[in-house]
A and B are shown apart, each in its own frame.
Chain A
C-alpha cells in the first residue's frame, strides 16, 4: 500500500513536470494582431444566445469558426464566471494579462466592468446591453431589439394572412422581466398590430431563463386555444416553445414559434426539411465584437455608447424557413427600409407605448 501511494505521488509530480512546456496564451504580443478576452456569465459560450454570438464574432475576426477555433489561446480566449462575485476578480485578472480588448456580455457585468475599468484607465473594454457607464474606456453596445422584434411581429401577422388564418391570436413569452425584454415585447406587438390592428395578444413571463418546461406548458395551452404564433425572448426557456410547436406541427396543427437572438431554424426542424421556427429575431452581437476588434486593430477604438439597430445591421429577422412566403418577406423588407430611413419609429418602453396607444394595457412587461 505504501509503495502504491509513493508511486501515485511520483506520478503526480512526473506528469506535472513532463507535461510542462511552452505557454500559448498571452505569448503572442509580437505581431500587431489584437488580442481579446471574452468574459461571460455562468451560462458560457454554449448558451446558443448572445454569449455564443459574441464568441462567433470573435472567431470570425481571426478567420476561425466556432468548431475550429485554431487561434484560441493565441489571440483570443474566454473566461466563464461561475458566480457573480467572480466578475471583478476575473476582470482584474484579464486586465493584468494585458489584452488589447476585454469584452463582457450582459448587464449583470455592468458594475464590475465600471469598477475595474476605472482602476485600469489604459485598458480597452467593451460591454453589450449596457448604456449607462461613465468610464471613458468602455465601449457600450446597446441593441434596438424593438426594431428586430417589430419585423418578426410583421412576419407573424403577414404569414397568418397569407395562410388565411381567421382571428389569429399571438403569444409572447418572456424570461425574467426587464427593460430589455420589454423592448422585444413592445416591438413584436407593434409589428402585429401594424397588420392586424385588432389581433389579440397574450403574454407570459417564465421568471427564469432556464425553464423550458414552463414555456412549453404555456405554449401548449395557448396553441390549444387558438394562438397561431408564439415569440419567446426567454433564453433557454424559449426552447420549450419551439419543442411544443414542433410537436403540434408534426401532428398537423398550423402553429409557429419564433426564435430569438440567433437563427433558431435548426432547433425547430421536425422533419429533415421542415422547421417549426417561422423566423427568428436575430440580435447580432457578433457584429459588435467584430466591429470593436476592427477598431482596435485600426487604432480607432474609443469608449462611449453605440446604438445597434437595423441601420447598423445589429438586429434583423431570419429568412431561412422556406415556409415563409416570398411575398411576406418582400413586405417585411419594405418595412425594414422604412425603419432604416427613419419613416417608421418603434417604441421600446411600455409606458411610452401605452401613451401612444399602440399596445394593450395589462401586459406582464415592466418599464
Chain B
C-alpha cells in the first residue's frame, strides 16, 4: 500500500490512493468498452441495461424484477473471489501464483471424489468435501512453495506446469469414478450438495449456495491473517524485501512455503464450491474453467487486499452474468472480456500515475523553492 502524502495537492492525494486508482481504471475500461460497442454499430445502452440487470435483477425493458439475476452474479463471484485471494495472498509475500487454475482443478477433483465415495452424513459430508478440497489445493500450491523456498525453483514455472498436470490428473481420476463417461460422473447424493433451500426460495431458483458463506469467511480470514497477525506481518515483510526480512529474524523459507499452501487452499476451496455448488454431478473436464487465470486479474484490480479482491471478484462475476444478458440484446459477449482485459492493462497505469505524481511533486517543490 502506498502512503498517502499529506502535503500534496488534492489530486495527488487521490492518485496516491490505490482504491481510487482501481475505480478509475475500471471506469476507464468501461468507457473504452462503450466506445467499442458503439464502433461496431451496437447500442451501448443495451450493454448497460444488461449490466444493470445483472446488478439489480431489474429488467429495464419490461420493468420486471427477478432476484435470480442479482444473486446469480454473486454466485459467479464466489470462484473469482477465491481464486483472486489465492493470487493476492501469494503476491503479498512476493510470489506470483499462476497456479490458481491447477489448485482449483485439484480442489474440484477431490470434491468430486468425496462427493461420490464419501460417507453420506448430512452436513458432515459437504463440510468434509470443502475441507479436503482446500487441503488438496494447499498441497498442490504448497509443493511449489517448498520448491521455491528450499531449492529456488521459480514458482511461476512450477505453478503453471502443475496447471496442466492437474487438468490431466483430474481426467484420469474422474474417469474412474462411479458412472463416469467422457464428460460426467454419476449424480451426487443429496448430502454432498451445497444447495440452500432458503436461498433457492428467495432468489427464484438461482444457483447461489452455501459456498457463499465460505467465500465471505475466506475474505475475512485473509484480512485477519495478513493485517492482524504476526504471521501476516512476517509475510508482508518477506514480500517487501526478502533479505531484510531474513536479517530481522523472520522465517522467510517457512513463510514462502506456507503462503503458497494458503494460497492453494483458497483456490482449492473455490474448485470444491463450484464442483458441489453449481453442479449436481461430477464433471470430467476436458478444458479449464478459467477462474484461476481470471483470479490473477481479480487480484490485480483488487490491489491484492482482502476487500479489494472481494469487490473486484464481484465485478468479474457481474460481468460474467451480464454476458448472457448482453448476447440476448445483440451485444457480443466478447465485450466483457475486452473490458476485463482493458481493466488489467490499465492497472499498469498505476506505475504511470506514480511517475505523474512524482513529476507533480517535483514541480511543486520547484515552485515553492523559486518563491
**Would A12 and B43 be within 8 Å (CB), given that A2-B11, A89-B207 are in contact?**
no
Q: Does B124 contact A (CB under 8 A)?
A: no
Q: Which of A9, A16, A84, A89 contacts B324 (CB 8 A)?
A: A89
> Which residues of B lie under 8 Å from residue A79 when comparing CB positions?
324, 327-328, 333
Q: Which of A37, A81, A178 contacts B328 (CB 8 A)?
A: A37
> Which residues of B lie under 8 Å from residue A8 when comparing CB positions?
27-28, 31
Q: Does B125 contact A (CB under 8 A)?
A: no
Interface string of A82-106 (1 = CB under 8 A from B): 1111101110111011000000000
Q: Does B346 contact A (CB under 8 A)?
A: no
> Which residues of A lie under 8 Å from residue B328 when comparing CB positions?
25-26, 37, 77, 79, 93-94, 97
Interface string of A288-302 (1 = CB under 8 A from B): 000000000000000
Query: In this complex, what residue of A is CB-closest to B30?
Result: A12
Q: Which of B61, B206, B281 contacts A89 (CB 8 A)?
A: B206
Most buried by A among B68, B323, B325, B327: B327
> Which residues of A lie under 8 Å from residue B189 when comparing CB positions?
none
Q: Contact at B27–A83, with CB atoms within 8 Å? A: no
Q: Does B183 contact A (CB under 8 A)?
A: yes
Q: Contact at B327–A9, with CB atoms within 8 Å? A: no
In Å, the complex CA distance between A5 and B281 comes to 49
> Which residues of A lie under 8 Å from residue B321 when comparing CB positions?
89
B residues lining the A interface (CB < 8 Å):
11, 24, 27-28, 30-31, 34-35, 38, 43-46, 48, 61, 66, 68-69, 72, 76, 181-184, 205-207, 274, 278-281, 283, 286-287, 289-291, 320-321, 323-325, 327-330, 333
What's the minimum C-beta distance from B336 to chain A, rounded to whole angstroms?
A: 9
Most buried by A among B30, B181, B182: B182
Chain A interface residue count, CB cutoff 8 Å, equals 52
Most buried by A among B28, B48, B206, B321: B48
Q: Which 3 A-B pairs have the closest CB atoms?
A: A20-B45, A85-B278, A178-B182
What's the minimum C-beta distance from A57 to chain B, rounded to whole angstroms?
A: 19
Q: Contact at B68–A92, with CB atoms within 8 Å? A: yes
What's the minimum C-beta distance from B94 to chain A, rounded to whole angstroms?
A: 31
Interface string of A1-17 (1 = CB under 8 A from B): 11001001101100111
**Would A111 and B182 be within 8 Å (CB), given that A19-B38, A88-B207, A89-B324 are in contact?**
no
How many residue pairs between the two chains, A and B, have CB atoms under 8 Å in the bound complex? 111
Q: Which of A81, A96, A178 contacts B181 (CB 8 A)?
A: A178
Q: Does A364 contact B (CB under 8 A)?
A: no
Q: Which of B44, B181, B184, B274 contacts A19 (CB 8 A)?
A: B44
> Which residues of A lie under 8 Å from residue B207 when comparing CB positions?
85, 88-89
Q: Which of B38, B274, B280, B291 contacts A15 (CB 8 A)?
A: B38
Q: Contact at A11–B44, with CB atoms within 8 Å? A: no
Q: Does A21 contact B (CB under 8 A)?
A: yes
> Which residues of B lie under 8 Å from residue A70 when comparing CB positions?
none
> Which residues of B lie under 8 Å from residue A176 when comparing CB positions?
182-183, 286
Query: In this complex, what residue of A is CB-closest to B53?
Result: A93
**Would A24 and B330 be within 8 Å (CB), given that A82-B323, A92-B68, A176-B286 are in contact?**
yes
Interface string of A122-158 (1 = CB under 8 A from B): 0000000000000000000000000000000000000
> Which residues of A lie under 8 Å from residue B48 when comparing CB positions?
16
Most buried by A among B66, B72, B328: B328
Query: In this complex, what residue of A is CB-closest to B360?
Result: A1
What's the minimum C-beta distance from B70 to chain A, rounded to whole angstroms?
A: 12
In Å, the complex CA distance between A207 and B182 comes to 10
Q: Does A68 contact B (CB under 8 A)?
A: no
